[in-house]
Amino acid sequence: MADAVVVGLPDHKFGEAITAVVSFRPGESATADEIVTTVKESLSAFKAPRHVVTVPEVTRGPNGKADYAWAKQVASEQVG
């Protein structure tokens, strides 16, 4: 994995659902289940993302910080 950012999307049951927006290096890939399983090895299950969205590149600002507005928009478009 090259880069990732995590955002919350509206969820009717929990209020927000954790959603990971990830990009991969050329030649790398992973399924959403593989990513969630890897996260659960280090964190509690309730902290693992409910959705995983793959993008070509995670957008960052000039200061290097993740563009959360962009990530949230892309995630909501792909998750629906």
Model's pTM, two decimal places? Answer: 0.88
Please list the residues that pair with 72 across neighbouring strands: none
Which pair of structure tokens corresponds to residue 64? Answer: 């290097």
In the chain, domain spans: 3-60
In degrees, rounded to 5, the angle at the alpha carbon of residue 37 between the alpha carbons of residues 66 and 5 is 5
Contact (CB, 8 A) for 68 and 5: yes
Q: How far, in Å, CA of 66 to CA of 6, rounded?
A: 10
pLDDT attached to residue 11: 92
Domain 3-60 is found in CATH 3.40.50.720: no
Which pair of structure tokens corresponds to residue 25? Answer: 């290096």
- SS3 of 17, please? strand
Task: Average the pLDDT over 61-69 and give the result.
Answer: 94
pLDDT attached to residue 1: 73
Task: Average the pLDDT over 9-15 and give the result.
Answer: 91
